[in-house]
Structure 1
């Protein structure tokens, strides 16, 4: 069938004008791959997708329409002269395997492996045998009480560290009852939460609040602690700690 490019009417094969609008129909041809009827100027077959342009180019080459003159004479190539004059190989008596091995060992220098300096050690000293032992240093997290210059090391085996004073509900991991002005600190005052290498502090409903770098920490919010942060439990900056990493 030939589809009219003007009104899309399907006309029978071989028709030259459209039966519906009398528009001249394009010339048709047969797909060499599947035999379907295609337009003569089509690039690909609508049935099988065959490349019609490549097929026409091949037909033109074999038909002699495209110049493929290969009758031109190919000039003879001159044989180049050798760069090095060949020498006749003289084969002498072959030495024994033992003699060849001794001669090779005598003429071949034995390379000594380069000495590699020992890697730098991170330890404070060496063992009696001269070998260095690697010592891993673990970070220590501390709270420095500003008013008394007292260091409190945070427990390393806890993920939640309770700060407050002795009570029957949640006993504190860091007891501040012995510090001056501890009466402004609630019994359940704040928590420090450990998540990987990060430390977060949050107020858990204290009466006088928690202040980070002199700014109030709202209940429910948490602050990621960094070295040097100033933590005040209660108003007036009377019970103050510095967060330290060593």
Structure 2
């Protein structure tokens, strides 16, 4: 005989062990614990879930429809603009962009020559500088944008420097890239596309219908602080 507290006893009135009153009619029935719910294994990730779960707690699998949850696609990274923005920073250099009447006459361009005047001074902020003409549709953003000169290709040439010396590389332009001295005749032999040619301190870069570029150190106070 067992008392309501679960102790074995021979007495019928009070438990021999704990003294609790015995129920009439013999031993008290020990309550049976409710059955544990049967776990459901997710077919997608094999994680255990309760039997009546609607979704897998681990991966979101829908037990009702038998499908995985819809996930929004990860947007693809946008195209990187064709410029030298990822190159190391550079300080203290500028490019003078001139309209050169002599180069214009030598090219025999049909476009009208802009009025020659003072040069446009462009700060060279990185060690790799793209020369060309901007194109929003092709995502091209040159560091030296020669938009007014139609003889310039979109990606015409690339300048590189070690901080002291400069090189120019033609990127397969339509009209070529030329390097010539500041004195003497205009250059007639273009830079070989894909090959770097050094630009000396007294050299000038000629390209397009009328453009001449001079690379030089910035004058004191010429650049923003």
TM-score class normalised by the smaller sequence:
0.3 to 0.5
Q: TM-score, normalised by structure 1?
A: 0.38
Larger Rg: 1
| Structure showing the higher helix proportion among its residues | 1
Structure with more contact order per residue of length (Cα contacts < 8 Å, sep ≥ 6): 2
